[in-house]
Amino acid sequence: MAFYTNKKKIHIRHHIKKKHNSIIVGEDKDNYDYITITHSPRKDKTHLNNKFYRNPNLSDNSDSYYENRIRVDVKNNFSKNSIKSWSISLKDLKKI
């Protein structure tokens, strides 16, 4: 894993296979390190997701959450471009 040391490089891309958007927190030559974004407060019966202070999708007023763990997947499983219309608040960036 190669995490971004500069938080300004953190961005959001669509995970094609999972059909969820993801926060990209690092990368190397072939892979992205990412955190999944969801509307569900729970991953399963025992794992809670963290609530965003402000939904990254500015056109959506519903609550949004991110998973408590960092995953790794090949870059080909993500959209080619980042999602410019979504942004992470500074308050949320400090938690990630």
Q: Of 2-16, 17-31, 68-82, which range is least confident?
A: 2-16
57: Cβ–Cβ under 8 A, 6 or more apart, which residues?
A: 21, 64, 85, 86
1 pLDDT more than 70: no
Q: Apex CA 90: angle with CA 33 and CA 41, to 5°?
A: 65
| Domain spans, the chain | 7-81
CA–CA gap between residue 28 and residue 43 (Å, rounded): 27
CA–CA gap between residue 12 and residue 2 (Å, rounded): 17
pLDDT digits (tens, 9 = 90+) for 36-76: 999 999 877 778 999 999 999 999 999 999 998 999 999 99
Q: What does pLDDT average to over the chain?
A: 90
88 pLDDT more than 90: yes
Greater confidence (51 vs 2) lies with 51
